[in-house]
Amino acid sequence: MSKYYTMKIAGYERKLEKFPVSDKLDIAAFIIFGDVELTIAGCEALLKKVPEFDVIITPEAKSIPIAYEMARQSGKPYVIARKGVKVYMRNPLEVSVNSITTKNTQKLYLGESEVSMLKGKKVLVVDDVISTGESLAAARKLVKDAGGIEVAACAFLAEGDAAERDDIIFLEKLPLFFK
């Protein structure tokens, strides 16, 4: 079995290295950090597919470049659901998340100022890859708890069964690799 999976995203070919998740499953790791050309092109392509929105929310950390670039191209603000409470976060909202790429349960937080940015606004949920949907569910709960109105959820890639979902917008399908 090849150590890499090659795919095209927004017109750019990328080799994604495979990593084991279990004895029976490998995933191809999509890491957008440092890939400026793909970030710009992919965000441009995603923005053509999503409905009108007021603000973007993304979970920390791998999708931050995507949220930033979509915000830059659209002129709309973005907020980050943080993995830890920072000293400057007053009255944080909290949700738990179990992601396929993280070994332990994590929590995501929004501070009072981020909550005020979402309240009553049309919110676009942005991620890099949607797989099990756990991070997406946590971000959606934060939007709801903050009083925001989710208009869509999007990602560069939908992994495995997520590609069959009709409640997400994505650029390409990313297969799972069963052994």
- Per-residue pLDDT for 91 more than 90? no
List beta partners, residue 154: 126, 169
- Per-residue pLDDT for 176 more than 70? yes
Helix (H) or strand (E) holding 58: strand 55-59
- Phi, psi of 103, deg, nearest 5: -70, -35
Output the CA torsion sign for 96, 168, 47, 17.
Answer: positive
- Per-residue pLDDT for 83 more than 90? no
pLDDT bracket for residue 148 (50, 70, 90): very high
Amino acid letter, residue 87:
V
- Per-residue pLDDT for 72 more than 70? yes
